[in-house]
Amino acid sequence: MARLDTVKNITGLTEWYGRDKRLRSLVNLVIVGGFFDPSESKDREEASEIKKMHALIETYDLRGQMRWICAQTDRKRNGELYRCIADSKGAFVQPALYEAFGLTVIEAMNSGLPTFATNQGGPAEIIVDGVSGFHIDPNGGGGGEDATRKMADFFEKCELEPAHWRRISDAGLARIEGCYTWRIYADKTLNMGSVYTFWRVLNKRQKLAKQRYIQLLYNLHFRNLVMTDD
């Protein structure tokens, strides 16, 4: 769902998957991001990541287990991609080295997808780890082994206990409904506006009171001093 920037760590996720035989035996990998041809990118960093992605596919022989879809800008198509993965009882992974907010995390959870997301930045607040999704540490030891172990554990548990997938999915939906809807955002914005207006009026009254106090001091004390000096 993004450019293939280094910070997005999409090639990192691909390498984690390629190395983990247990995870590969449980699920396939779908990557949505970037271009296929490095010459199509005007950014040298992204072009380098595209070349790296092709190399990883060959190194770990991912053909048949991985589908790479170029970055999408059509919101309706993005929604269908989320729902397609959800219908197949899959999960969404956001492996960024750092993510300021995490809009794709919100979108995925709102589509009912159990979500694994970086613990570096906004997603750490969006997701309640182990309840409405899962935190993963992109900088953790073992070259992503901790992250892929958590993913593999989840899918194995879903095979043994099918209700587990629905439980995490429902908790993710409830988390978004309770914290990240447009209605909540609008209410908070209006409340902030009301608070600002209150303090602005209060500060105006305090300013008037201060001016009256200064005038009082002048009339009772400093005015006489000025008149004496003359």
pLDDT one-digit tens code per residue, 169-192: 999 999 999 999 888 888 877 777
Q: 73 pLDDT exceeds 90? A: no
Please state, in angstroms and rounded to a whole number, the distance separating the CA atoms of residues 12 and 101: 20
Is 48 a residue whose pLDDT tops 80?
A: yes
* Contact (CB, 8 A) for 77 and 55: no
- Decide if pLDDT at 200 tops 70: no
Can you give the pLDDT at residue 228? 61
Res 224 pLDDT > 80: no
First to last CA, the chain: 78
Q: Which residue has the higher pLDDT, 24 or 192?
A: 24
Q: What is the mean pLDDT of the chain?
A: 89
Q: Of residues 194 and 85, which shows the higher confidence score?
A: 85
* Per-residue pLDDT tens over the stretch 116-155: 999 999 999 999 999 999 999 998 766 789 999 999 999 9
Helices 145-160 and 10-19 cross at an angle (nearest 10°) of 60
- pLDDT average, residue stretch 214-218: 70
Q: Would the pLDDT of 204 be above 90?
A: no
Which whole-number Å values give the CA distances from 115 to 49, 92, 106, 125, 185, in the listed order? 24, 5, 9, 13, 22
DSSP code at position 129: B
**Does 229 score more than 80 pLDDT?**
no
pLDDT over 90 at 25, yes or no: yes
Residue 80 pLDDT > 70: yes
- Give residue for tokens 């990118």: 41
